[in-house]
């Protein structure tokens, strides 16, 4: 097999990596808002594969969004509660930059990142007005298959 080579990062590489992560976390929206927004909504869409967070104003215009995949998590790590909490921290930075004081949280989906994203939003000091679950639920379900004839 041969000797194994252990790669050690220098301080400069570690600083570059940290700066890169901070840049990803602190991305601001691509447009400037005309008037001061005081209230917004955060939509958390949590699936088995990823967790998406979208920040909108009261009318539904998207101000910013982030996801676990955008922060650099790959594969099955995207669906973890830790990745969801990191995505919530990233959206909280954007909320603070925009000066939004109060937010409504709307949660959709069945993934494992639902609870941790909400907890992370609350822990970062956001004034959460309400938390609403908007997961779609079928009332009567799909039409069942025809009876099998043998």
Give residue 27's pLDDT. 63
Each residue of 19-48: pLDDT tens digit?
777 777 666 555 554 578 899 999 999 999
Closest CA to 134 of 112, 114, 117, 113: 114
CA pseudo-torsion sign 101, 116, 88, 43: negative
The continuous run of DSSP H or E covering 122 comes out as helix 114-123
pTM: 0.74
Go through the domains of the chain in sequence order and give each one's CATH number.
63-135 (3.30.420.80)
- Token representation of residue 150: 């043998």
Cα(150)–Cα(140) distance, rounded to whole angstroms? 28
Cα(25)–Cα(35) distance, rounded to whole angstroms? 24
């Amino acid at each position: 097999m041969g000797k194994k080579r252990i790669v050690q990062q220098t301080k400069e590489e570690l600083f570059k990596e940290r700066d890169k992560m901070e840049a990803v976390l602190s991305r601001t929206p691509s447009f400037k808002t005309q008037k001061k927004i005081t209230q917004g909504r955060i939509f958390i869409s949590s699936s088995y594969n990823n967790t998406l967070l979208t920040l909108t104003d009261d009318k539904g215009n998207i101000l910013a969004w982030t996801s676990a995949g955008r922060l650099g998590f790959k594969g099955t790590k995207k669906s973890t509660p830790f990745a969801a909490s990191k995505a919530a921290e990233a959206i909280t930075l954007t909320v603070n930059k925009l000066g939004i004081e109060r937010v409504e949280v709307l949660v959709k989906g069945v993934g494992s990142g639902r609870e941790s994203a909400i907890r992370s939003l609350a822990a970062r000091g956001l004034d959460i007005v309400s938390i609403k679950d908007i997961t779609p639920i079928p009332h009567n379900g799909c039409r069942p298959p025809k009876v099998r004839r043998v």
